[in-house]
Structures are given as C-alpha cells and as structure tokens.
Amino acid sequence: MEIILIWLALAMVMELILIRLVLAMVVKLNLIRLVLAMVVELIIIRLTLATLAVAMELILIRLVLVVAMEPILIRSTLIVA
C-alpha cells in the first residue's frame, strides 16, 4: 500500500513537470499565467509530499511494530520448540 502511494506521488510530480513543459512549448504563456501555473504546481507538489510523508510514516509504524513484536515471537517459538 505504501509503495503504491509513493509511486503515485512520484508520478504526479513527473506529470506536473510534463504539463508545464507542454504548456510552455505550445502556448506562449504571459507572466501572470506562468505564475498562476507555478502556484498551482506548488500546491499540488505540497499535497504530493504530504502523501509521501503519510506513506513513509506507515512504513515506519510497521517497522516499529515488527521490532516490538520480535521478542514475543521469539519466546513463542522457544515455547513451541
């Protein structure tokens, strides 16, 4: 799940860069439109970074749970053995 979120965020950033390049080539943007496009791009990049942060936090929580559960798992295997 987290890996999917990370790839989705990276794809969004790449898509924004491509959209900006196409707009710059096809439509000769004036300064105001270019600034507005950059503001929208920054907002979406911030949302993307928030998505990445959530994904990384989920991975970290899973790692902490695995480390915390490890002694319990070792004890249960010793009892069974």
Rg of the Cα atoms in the chain: 22
Q: How many domains does the chain have?
A: 1
pLDDT digits (tens, 9 = 90+) for 14-32: 777 777 777 776 666 666 7
Q: For the chain, what is the mean pLDDT?
A: 73
**Domain, as residue range, for 61:** 2-80
User: How many helices and strands in the chain, by DSSP H and E?
Assistant: 2, 0
pTM: 0.43
Average pLDDT on 46-67 reads 78
**Is pLDDT at 7 greater than 70 in this prediction?**
yes
More confident residue, 1 or 22: 22
**Is pLDDT at 81 greater than 60 in this prediction?**
no
